[in-house]
Structure 1
Amino acid sequence: MNVPNAVSILRIIMTVPVYILTVMGPDYKIAALILFAIAALSDLFDGWYARKFNQITNLGKFLDQISDKILINAVFIALLGAGIIPGWFVAIIVSRDTFVSGIRMFLASKNVVVAADNFGKLKTFLQIVSILYAYLFVNEPVLISLLIFTAVVSVVSGINYFTKNKHYIL
């Protein structure tokens, strides 16, 4: 197993303590924030490392995407449970990610592996910013605006993903 793949697996493992710290309440919010930030930064590291040392693999493309979805969706669910973000937002994000993951599995069955594009990377960036902001500024009007923008970009990126790959699907 190469370094980027190991880092992606570590990101999945880090999801558990981030989730637990988030649902434990406000006294643990900063610890959850710090651990989440480290996990999010590991996403940048594994991508950089894979490109720099020519360790890009199909497994890595899969693990990177899945580890991001697990981390981000679990934290959004924890923030929902803590009463920090609304359910409509989590439903949109989880639905979009499930839809795109379904497409990825279908494409994988046809031996097609699709890496994330810039729109997907923007979506992930906005989701990470939304989480960081939610930890720092609970129930702020700016947070709701950020969540709306993030939800719109997430849905549009899901539509874009389908559209770019529909020739494999239909």
Structure 2
Amino acid sequence: MNLPNQITLIRIGFIPIFMVIFLYPFQWGTLDLAGAEVPMNHAVAGLLFAVAAATDWVDGYIARSRNLISNFGKFLDPLADKLLVTAALLSLIELALLPAWMGVIILTREFAVTGMRLVAAADGTVIAASGLGKWKTVFQMVAIFFLIVHNVPFDELGLPVATMLMWIAVILTVLSGIDYFVKNKHVFNDA
């Protein structure tokens, strides 16, 4: 297995660790970040989430720069992103830090595109991530990070940056989902 795929597997391994730390406070107390009190476990979970999300860029960069792009990587990388985003969204919803309807829209698109990729894969076709899909992922990851850390440092300034980023992420999620289905409608030719 090549290095980019190993890094992707590490990203998947971060998911349960992130969830345990984020959802179960273990009496860690709070941390003063930019004048805002953030539960210590949320600060640590935010750091773990940021590291896991950054590995998406790292594995992609290594794969492209060393010509290590593989079909397995094209399948595994978006799956790892979806697993990380799903875990984070469900955790944020459980903690009432994200409206459930936003999570449902994002997860519906993720499952629909994954289903389409599986159908295509059965015919030997690999559907790689699109540019719009990559921007969607960036905005989702950044928005989720700021939700995890309670909008710090923007909360003290009265700027709802986390919420604004999540709105952009939801809009990009819908647009990129439509884009995937329009560009890959041939996958469902026999429907």
Q: Aligning the two structures, in what range does the TM-score lie when normalised by the shorter sequence?
A: over 0.9
For 1:113, the equivalent position in structure 2 comes to: 126
The question of whether the paired residues in 2 share the 8 Å contact of 1:79 and 1:85 is answered with: yes
Q: Structure 2: state its 5+ residue gaps.
A: 26-38
The question of whether the paired residues in 2 share the 8 Å contact of 1:22 and 1:82 is answered with: no
Pairing 1:92-103 to 2, within 5 Å after superposition? 92-103=105-116
Query: Using the alignment, how far apart are the partners of 1:44 and 1:149 within structure 2?
Result: 20
For 1:157, the equivalent position in structure 2 comes to: 176
Pairing 1:16-165 to 2, within 5 Å after superposition? 16-25=16-25, 26-137=39-150, 141-165=160-184
Query: Using the alignment, how far apart are the partners of 1:133 and 1:61 within structure 2?
Result: 28
The question of whether the paired residues in 1 share the 8 Å contact of 2:143 and 2:163 is answered with: no
Query: Using the alignment, how far apart are the partners of 1:84 and 1:21 within structure 2?
Result: 16
For 1:10, the equivalent position in structure 2 comes to: 10
Query: Using the alignment, how far apart are the partners of 1:5 and 1:94 within structure 2?
Result: 24
Runs of 4+ in 1 over 6 A off after TM superposition: none
The question of whether the paired residues in 2 share the 8 Å contact of 1:80 and 1:90 is answered with: yes
Query: Using the alignment, how far apart are the partners of 1:48 and 1:88 within structure 2?
Result: 33
The question of whether the paired residues in 1 share the 8 Å contact of 2:116 and 2:187 is answered with: no
**Residues 106-150 of structure 1, C-alpha deviations (whole Å, 9 max, x = no match):** 000111001101000000000011111112335874433322221
With 86-95 and 129-138 compared, the bigger mean Cα shift is at 129-138
With 101-110 and 24-33 compared, the bigger mean Cα shift is at 24-33
The structure carrying a bigger helix percent of its residues is 1
Identity percentage over the alignment? 37
With 150-159 and 139-148 compared, the bigger mean Cα shift is at 139-148
Q: Which has the greater radius of gyration? A: 2
Query: Using the alignment, how far apart are the partners of 1:2 and 1:141 within structure 2?
Result: 41
TM-score if structure 2 supplies the norm length? 0.84
Query: Using the alignment, how far apart are the partners of 2:107 and 2:148 within structure 1?
Result: 19
Letter in 2 for 1:10: I
* Matched residues, number: 170
Query: Using the alignment, how far apart are the partners of 1:125 and 1:145 within structure 2?
Result: 14
